[in-house]
Structure 1
Amino acid sequence: MAEVTGDALPQQSNAARPDPWWARAARPARPVPAWAPAARAAVGMGAPLAAGLATGHLVLGVYAGLGAMHATLNDRIEPARLRLSRIGAALGASALGMLVGAGLAHEQGRLGTPLVWLVLTVVGFVSGAVSATGPRGSAAGMLLLVSATLGSGMAPTRPWWAAAAVLGVGALPVLLLGLHHRRQPRHDPRRRALVTVYQALGELLARLDTPQGAAARQALTARLNQFQDLLTGDDPPELRRAFEAALAATEAANGLLWARRPVPAEVVAVPARLARELARTPAGSTAAGLTAAPTADLTEDPAEVPDWFPATPAQRALDEALRTAADAVAGRPGDPARLVRTAPAPPPDPWRLRVRLLSRGSLRYGARVALCIAVAGLLCAGLPLERGYWVPMTVAFVLKPDLGSVFLRAVSRSVGTVAGVAVTAALLSLTTDRWVLAAVAALCVALLPYTAAAHYGLNAAVITPMALALVQLGGQSGVGQAWPRVLDTALASAVVLVFGYLLWPERTPHRIEPRLVAAADSLRAYLVSATRSRDQAQVWLRRAAYRALAEARQEVRQGLAEPPPAARRAASWLPATAALERLSGAVAAYAAQLRYGGRTSDPAEVARVLAALDRLAAAARAHRPPTGTTSRPPGPHDPARSALDQAAAELEQLLA
């Protein structure tokens, strides 16, 4: 297999062997606990349940609690407009699904079971098609199907449409409690996200000549993506200037990382100081779980850049970008000669409909979900299942398209459900007091923001006791009612594995290769723009390239966590992913040479790299991973030599 440079697997040294796929699948992430969303979720679930218990309308309280859970699943730390839009879209889809499901339950005696399942299959098709349009569509589509199945099987309300109406009651506390503190500038999610950008920039500068440089670059790209997703179009001018300066500094830092050229400690300390100035926090503090970059004992204004002697074009580009950032953070107008100017930011990438609702991809995914729902209906009709709605509900959760491997989700869901049922059974053997069950449901929903970011199996282990507690509050009793959910989940996972995974070609290579093609095309556009002119659109072409590379790397990592042969297929694309990421650094270094080093663009060099990118994209379209090996010079890059010349040679070695 081709040599891996370490860029694709930053946690390991070049000599280390990749972890087995099962170890990757079982390893949870370690997200920073989000206390505010957890508190909002607990109040949103606990308040309606308590009100239902106190007034004798517990069924309505259960449905209101479901609304709180659906709002929690879509709660993010972001500007109010984006947050309201995200939660509103999810709740609208949930209410529509609940209305359809409750209507089917109300008319089931007249319609008959086959017709009810036919309607749910159609809802599944619509859900899958909507889910394939993007992250917000994925959340709305999943909740549309989940609510439709729940509404068709859970305890009915009177009137029958009341279940859909009260979903918003539980969501209201989650919405309102997240608005009260956001009017203060220091609590603006954009400002807090920009702080993490500058912290990550400091981390990268501290690791330019270390094996951890690639991991630091990827962390910085993730922070930039998160900030870009929070842009609303009416962002504060000072934040926009600071963000644009961070983009320029990132390009320069990527060029320095590629060239293996460190910078002095007093320069490394600048981004961390700017981050503290943005956050208005005491020196030495950190945010978002990032370790502060090494700092020097400086006495000057924290929004100043010390004098140093940048010797290469990339270092001069970094110096200019940091000085522009310091001016932006301090509110100074800055030097007009070095201001970073960009075109208006495009809409945040995750909010754009990448795949239109009636496109081939959306319709195909809709058919995939509909087939699984139809098979689940046949199983529910042919088997004596006590709560048949659990099977299609699990199908909807597992088939959510933006949560990674379907195989791993199906297995993790089963394991997590067994763990959750065991906990619930132990609890129900001790007590069935309704107030205790309401408290357990509120505690579980409060844990969802953390477990959703940590591991899908852990999330299932938490959401299962919550769901079973709600079912218990809805009228069931006894420990024996919990264990049949294991069978329901196993059936749903088997349906997804066979009819939603094995029979469809959206497996690992078919997810990775389109991402690699998109990354190669984005990098191509960035290179063309960098060599022709420093136009305003170049910044966003560079951002599009970095984002596409991050998405390709994420797909490869998810593929490595699947069992063979998928893991081996994903590993075969590791060298190509690493090569594209290194090429992005070479393009950044070349752009600095053009602007600060007096170099003139060589059309032959550019054409050579473009041809190599086209060959790599063609190999991805043909499902042929490159088998060559790459090697790098042992020392720093010679700034007198064209960065593209060396990058082209490395990419051609890979494609040989």
Structure 2
Amino acid sequence: MASSSSRFAPPAWLVGAVRSEPVAVPWAAVVRAAVALVVPLVVGLAVGRPEYGALAAIGALSGVIGDTADAYRMRVLNIAVPQLFGAVGVTVGAAVYGHGWVAVGVVTGVALVSGMMSSIGAVASVSGLLLLLNAVVGAGLPMPGAWWVAPALLAGGGLLVLALGLLAWPLRAQVPERAAVAAAYRAAADLLEAAGTERYPETRVALTTSLNRAYDLVLAHRARYHGRGPDLVRLVATLNAITPIAESAPAADQWATPLPPAIPAAVRTLADAIASGRAEAGRPDPVAHDSPAARVAAQAVAHAADVVARRDLGPGDLEDRLGRPAALGARARATAHAALLSGASWRYGLRLALCIGLAQALVSLVPVPRSYWVALTITFVMKPDFGSVFSRAVLRAGGTVVGLVAAAAVLAQVPRGWWDVPVMLVLGALVPVFSARGYGYQTAAITPVILLLSDVLNREGVGLLVPRLLDSLMGCAIALVAGYLLWPESWHTRVGDRLADAVDDTAAYITCAFAPDSDHVARARERRRLYRDLSAIRTEFQRALTEPPPTGRHAAAWWPLVVAVERIADATTGARVRVRHGADPPRTEEVAEVVGELLALSGNLRTSAVLREFRPEFSAVEDDSVLCPLRREVTAARAIASPRT
């Protein structure tokens, strides 16, 4: 019989959705947010146009929310490009303000465009978000001044955040990229320490995440400058040199032999040298080794130390494991073209347009104070790359209630005028602090900021609270019904489909790893793609767990197979390392058997309503075959039965 405490405990999906992420306080972002939100208010009050200051502060708030990149070049894209689309959005919205059903049609069309832009990439997604948000505001709220004033003020506020973020660029040009590469080396050191222990799986995931971030930053930098500057060549070579270290960890884990502490310590010495930019500090002392695992790891560390210490690297020394990047324009055109032809892109655009159209039609037929908040709520809740629509709707409602409590105290007790400045200084600083902890926390932090700025524009005080609550709840309800419940694809997880793709990539990686004419650069690319797939699956799995039953429960059933596929990838890497260091290579027939079983597993994942348990019939091989650990992992994966949703 269940205890009373368990009966009244909140559901697991809700606990997962509201759990705070353990992150450090981003002090630089806190200072930028506080300054960027206060300066427009101060200027507006000083010149006697507080409404202008409020509009610029709203633009700054959007810049603060988009201020998530570490690299300066990416920060320019993440903030400046969305601000341009936001200026277009408010111009279009203001042009149809007060035009009834014309405004409904125009805003609905903007929603379709915004939704399809979300499939192109991260920058395009934020740009589409601001395009729609500002179009909704322009269509629902009279803008002060001439037609160009509101776009200029909103964009100017966002660009102020960008200017503050770029102040240190001349002194810290490559510091974020170097810090990301150094963090990957420290994660590799942690993985070497964890080899042969129970901490190995979670530590390997942390290394994958760190490598993904480092490669993303370096790839973005390299695409902009074609990858041939001496500093960038050195950075790419240093990042590539981590691959042998990362590959030595699965081999050590298979041998179940703890590595000498001096080996991970040497990797951390390299990380410190990379972060500081001082190559002379990057040569750790040679490490003694008395086991095959230690020999493999020590050789990998020695190779990385040579790369870090070299100053004469040129383009000819670069093993291009990232692939040659296209120019930014060509990449953007190719991605946009693919998004326009994607069925998923059109479906999401139509879902968002349906929800926005319903909201705009509803507030046109029924008098709703501050009606634009309904569509604004839908826009935030429906973003596909921001997580589960269901959990975001719940968190949006809960976060709004919490934020309204804080806003009520501010609006009731703080006199209008210059007293708004110190209050905004505190509230603005809290936005990046809470945004990093989750969507519900971000909503709770943003709500009092928005209401304070709205009060500057409208002078309604606590009269804003109830309309804001009702409009937010209406927006959440429309998103849940028209954007979630009416679409059967919302009720299913995508873990199984993505897992099937990862199994196919695993089969390709095994084929490449043990091919007679195997190329180590091609192997590195296949391995990076596979581990990136597995990282994406974990992200999708965490998202699916925040869905209500039965979706979240079905997603949880996939977890054993997710872990099994990760172990297969590690076993493949470990086997390849052992071959490189003297073990007999596997027979072609043995490799073909393993690949065939994986392809059968992938086909089962794609076509079956239920993942049937099946134990493969491998032919007999010697116990010392290098593929024995891999065959055991494949057998374990094929023996897992799990429901398909």
Q: Distance in 1 between matches of 2:252 and 2:473?
A: 51
1:429 is matched with: 412
Distance 2:286 2:490 in 1: 51
Alpha-carbon spacing, 1:281–1:191, altered in 2? closer, same or farther (3 Å): closer
Q: Determine the structure 2 residue equivalent to 1:571.
A: 556
Aligned partners of 2:609 and 2:562: how far apart in 1? 14
**Residue aligning to 1:596:** 581
| 1:645 matched to 2:631 | yes
Is the CA contact (8 Å cut-off) linking 1:513 and 1:623 kept in structure 2? no
| CA–CA separation in structure 1 for the residues paired with 2:556 and 2:614 | 14
1:329 — aligned with what? 308
> Do 1:440 and 1:466's aligned partners in 2 also have CA atoms closer than 8 Å?
no
| Matched ranges for 1:189-338 at <5 A | 189-231=176-218, 232-233=221-222, 234=227, 236-280=232-276, 303-309=283-289, 311-312=291-292, 315-331=294-310
Q: Distance in 2 between matches of 1:641 and 1:103?
A: 67
Q: Does 1:151 align with 2:143?
A: no
Matches of 1:619 and 1:310, distance apart in 2: 44
- Give the distance between the partners of 1:115 and 1:323, measured in 2 at CA: 68
Structure 1 distance, partners of 2:463, 2:614, is: 59
CA distance in 2, matches of 1:32, 1:347: 33
Q: Secondary structure at the match of 2:586?
A: coil
**Conserved 8 A contact 2:586-2:626:** no
Give me the CA root mean square deviation.
2.8
> Which deviates the most, 397-406 or 498-507?
498-507
Using CA pairs below 8 Å that are at least 6 residues apart, which structure has the higher relative contact order? 1
1:496-530: per-residue Cα shift (whole Å, max 9, x none)? 11111111234363432332233223323322221
Q: 2:83 aligns with which of 91, 106, 121?
A: 91
Which amino acid letter does the alignment assign opposite residue 150 of structure 2? A
8 Å CA contact retained: 1:266, 1:306: no
TM-score, structure 2 normalization: 0.88
C-alpha displacement of 1:197: 0.9
Q: Measure the CA separation in 1 of the matches of 2:485 and 2:634.
A: 39
1:227-247 per-residue CA deviation (whole Å, 9 max, x = no partner) reads 111111136222222211112
The answer (yes or no) to whether the contact 1:181–1:187 under 8 Å persists in 2 is no
What's the CA shift for 1:55? 0.6
CA contact (8 A) 2:82 2:127 kept: yes
**What is the deviation of 1:387?**
0.4
Q: Please give the TM-score of this superposition, normalised by the length of structure 1.
A: 0.86
The equivalent residue for 2:157 is 170
What are the Cα deviations for residues 114-168 of structure 1, in whole angstroms up to 9, with x where unaligned? 1211111111111111112222222111111111111122341210231112223
Alignment counterpart, residue 486 of structure 1, candidates 469, 478, 495: 469
1:522 corresponds in structure 2 to 505
Kindly state the Cα deviation for residue 537 of structure 1 after the two structures are TM-superposed: 2.8
**8 Å Cα contact 1:278/1:329 also seen in 2:** yes
5+ long unaligned stretches in structure 2:
1-9, 616-622
The equivalent residue for 2:39 is 47
> In 1, are the aligned partners of 2:69 and 2:78 still within 8 Å (CA)?
no
Task: Report matched runs for 1:69-80 at 5 Å.
Answer: 69-80=61-72
Deviations 1:63-106 (A, max 9, x none): 2112212222222343332221222221122111111111112x
How far residue 333 of structure 1 moved from its aligned partner, in angstroms, is: 6.8
- How many Å separate the matches in 2 of 1:225 and 1:388? 42
Give the equivalent residue in structure 1 for 2:430: 447
Q: Percent identity?
A: 34
Q: Is the 8 A contact 1:248 1:340 kept in 2?
A: no
Distance 2:150 2:159 in 1: 15
Contact 1:516 1:552 in 2 (8 A): yes
CA shift for structure 1 position 423:
0.9
Amino acid at match of 1:341: E
1:457 is aligned to 440
User: Is 2:31 aligned against 1:36?
Assistant: no
Q: Does structure 2 retain, via aligned residues, the 8 Å contact 1:270–1:305?
A: yes
Structure 1, unaligned runs of 5 or more: 1-17, 283-299, 631-636
Q: Which residue of 1 aligns with 2:538?
A: 553
Show the counterpart of 1:342: 320
Cα distance change on mapping 1:325 and 1:223 into 2, 3 Å: same
Provide, for residues 307-349 of structure 1, a one-character-per-residue CA deviation record: whole Å limited to 9, x for no partner.
322633x654432321122122233679xxxx98334545599
Bigger helix share: 2
Structure 1 residue 268: deviation in Å? 2.2
Identify the range of structure 1 (64-73 vs 464-473) with the bigger mean alpha-carbon deviation.
64-73
CA 1:304–1:135: 2 relative to 1, 3 Å = same
1:296 is aligned to: none
